[in-house]
Amino acid sequence: MCTYIYTMPAVQVEDQIKNMLKQIDELRAEALRMEGAVAALRGVLSSGVTELDLPEKQQAPEEGEITEDSA
């Protein structure tokens, strides 16, 4: 006769609190970065600039590939 013992998964409450507070801090930091970016763009807009030209994205050279910069 086999007897199975079922154990319920456990969660450490203090660990959960620490993890949640860490996530809140990370979200708060991201929100502050976004607020800073909005403030910077508003400054650009208030100076009369309505459009920004972005350079084309350059591909990174493959490993071992010789480029003008590395030659």
* pLDDT by position in tens, the chain (length 71): 667 777 877 889 999 999 999 999 999 999 999 999 999 999 999 999 999 999 888 777 777 777 666 55
Which residues of the chain form beta strands (DSSP E)? none
pTM: 0.58
Place of tokens 């400054």: 43
Quote the CA–CA distance of 69 and 71 in Å, as a whole number: 6
Question: At a CB cut-off of 8 Å and minimum separation 6, what does 52 contact?
Answer: 44
Task: Specify the residue for token string 């929100």.
Answer: 31
Q: Answer for the pair 61, 67: CB distance below 8 angstroms, yes or no.
A: yes
